[in-house]
Amino acid sequence: MADETKREEGRKLRERARALAVTSPHLNDDVVVACMDLVGRAGASGFEIGYLHDDVPVAEAGWYAHAQYQGARLIAQDHQSPTGAALALAERLLAGATCRCLQPVTLSDGQAGCRWRLVGQRWEPACDVASIKVSGARGDHAAMRRALAESGNRAQRRAAKRKGGRHG
């Protein structure tokens, strides 16, 4: 049931992205889709991207993106384009998160940790992990950090089990 709901939400988000791409020539589709994908993986119950002001140049429209969680809402606002808003929201989600390789997520080469990059329509870690799975109750902004950490812990436990098996 939950999976069904998620698929439906995913479908709606993709449709929304396509609609935005068609109606806004300034939209960098990949960045927005990647942000929605990340927001979805982080267990958000909603995502919205839009602008506040009509009848002004696009860059002055006040673009925002927000992700809705049960306990909180994460917002990036006052951007000059939907791309900028989507990028900022993704960066806020990733900042301070722990990757499932157990390293802190970093978005710049100069910092220690697991470097995440925007690859096409997805945010991908530098480590060789397939995907992030968010399990359990949908939560607040901390849900992603927990999910990322738990994924890492599971990988570690599996590794420990395999190791134990060889010896015992």
Asked if residue 66 lies in contact with residue 75, where contact means CB atoms within 8 angstroms, the answer is: yes
Please state the closest distance from residue 106 (CB atom) to Zn ion, in A: 10
Asked if residue 115 lies in contact with residue 127, where contact means CB atoms within 8 angstroms, the answer is: no
Q: Whole-angstrom Cα distance, residue 20 to residue 14?
A: 10
Please state the closest distance from residue 134 (CB atom) to Zn ion, in A: 16
Nearer to Zn ion, 126 or 142 (CB): 126
Please state the closest distance from residue 126 (CB atom) to Zn ion, in A: 6
Nearer to Zn ion, 79 or 115 (CB): 115
Nearer to Zn ion, 115 or 141 (CB): 115
Nearer to Zn ion, 59 or 95 (CB): 95
Nearer to Zn ion, 61 or 148 (CB): 148
Please state the closest distance from residue 52 (CB atom) to Zn ion, in A: 36
Q: Which two tokens stand for residue 85?
A: 């808003």
Q: How far is CA 74 from CA 42, 88, 97, 163, in A?
A: 12, 11, 14, 41
Query: CA quadruple 143, 149, 150, 151: dihedral positive or negative?
Result: positive
Please state the closest distance from residue 116 (CB atom) to Zn ion, in A: 8
Q: Which amino acid is at 27?
A: L
Residues 6+ apart with CB under 8 A from 53: 60, 61, 62
By the criterion CB under 5 A, which residues form the site for Zn ion? 99, 101, 114, 125, 127
Give the number of other Cβ atoms within 10 Å of residue 39's Cβ: 26
